[in-house]
Structure 1
């Protein structure tokens, strides 16, 4: 998973490259991914085991478990659900315009083999929520969500490259100011 949220071990890659606004390999802290290897698949199976779910339900549940600090994108969740369905670990039923996913016997067997790993990953999410609550990160998460929404809208409305370059400069300047705090 790239960008977004806490926790990328993909080398800390983001709008500033490796290592943060300073670039390069040194100076910046590298962050861990939220989920390693097949952990997300197992966490999704664990959530679906609890009750059949839509993809959006999974996104919201994971976001709730982190207190808003992390919400996986639809671009991560839906392809993973498709993979789980194609490998026979979940079965999808049409539920209006959405698909409702339920765990299969194969999925249950796979989850049982990796339950400790899935539960440990969920515990990390809970720890992230508790850390955020202790630091009262709510206003920061709200501001980040607001910034993301505005940026997405500007990108959709972008008719001129100069305006996008101005937006990038504003974000870079904000990052520099935050780094100096």
Structure 2
């Protein structure tokens, strides 16, 4: 990471790497673009899209466990898929309405939110699908979650380095450069292991 990213602008030097403030933002953008080209969006990337039937199956599976409101359903799917699948409100809420129209779920007002639960018919359908794995447990989604973990960690690291580059003292910046150099060596040593 020592000076391999180009960029114009004037900023304070980052130390041994020679990065300047605006150059660091260029480096962050290049890193993000590299992760997006390698890991997503798309199948297997962190932008994995699921079908409408998958949203339906996920909603039924979650409501079979307990009543939930819409954003709770979204968060639960995202958590169970390790961040690989986060359905939008534009796919979850129409699915909830469709399930209500079919008589499979009912909604009750709880404060300022609607809490959804399965009806008898909905429970029967969820039980019938119980032998199938939940959509977030599919092999492709598990692979996408594993593939998304590395670029997300890389982005968090780049953001931390960017913050130090903007606000750190020269000694803090040099310490950060040393940490990043050590991290790079350790990452390559992982590949060298059998």
CA distance in 1, matches of 2:66, 2:60: 10
SS at match of 2:114: strand
CA RMSD in angstroms, aligned pairs only: 3.1
Judged with a 3 Å threshold, the aligned counterparts in structure 2 of structure 1 residues 113 and 136 are, in CA distance, closer, same or farther, namely: same
Task: Tell me the number of residue pairs that the alignment of Structure 1 and Structure 2 aligns.
Answer: 115
Q: Which residues of structure 2 form unaligned runs of 5+?
A: 1-36, 159-194
Q: Which residue of 1 aligns with 2:43?
A: 31
Kept in 1, the 8 Å contact 2:104–2:120? The answer is yes
Q: Which residues of structure 1 form unaligned runs of 5+?
A: 1-20, 22-28, 144-181
Structure of higher RCO (CA pairs closer than 8 Å, 6+ residues apart)? 2
CA distance in 1, matches of 2:62, 2:134: 13
Q: Which residue of 2 aligns with 1:66?
A: 81
Q: Which residue of 2 aligns with 1:122?
A: 136
Shift of 1:104: 0.9
From 104, 107, 132, the equivalent of 2:148 is 132
- In our comparison, the structure showing a higher alpha carbon Rg is 2
CA distance in 2, matches of 1:59, 1:141: 23
Shift of 1:73: 0.8
Matches within 5 A, 1:14-53: 31=43, 34-36=49-51, 38-53=53-68
Q: Which moved more, 1:57-66 or 1:37-46?
A: 37-46
Shift of 1:43: 1.2
From 104, 108, 111, the equivalent of 1:93 is 108
CA distance in 2, matches of 1:85, 1:142: 44
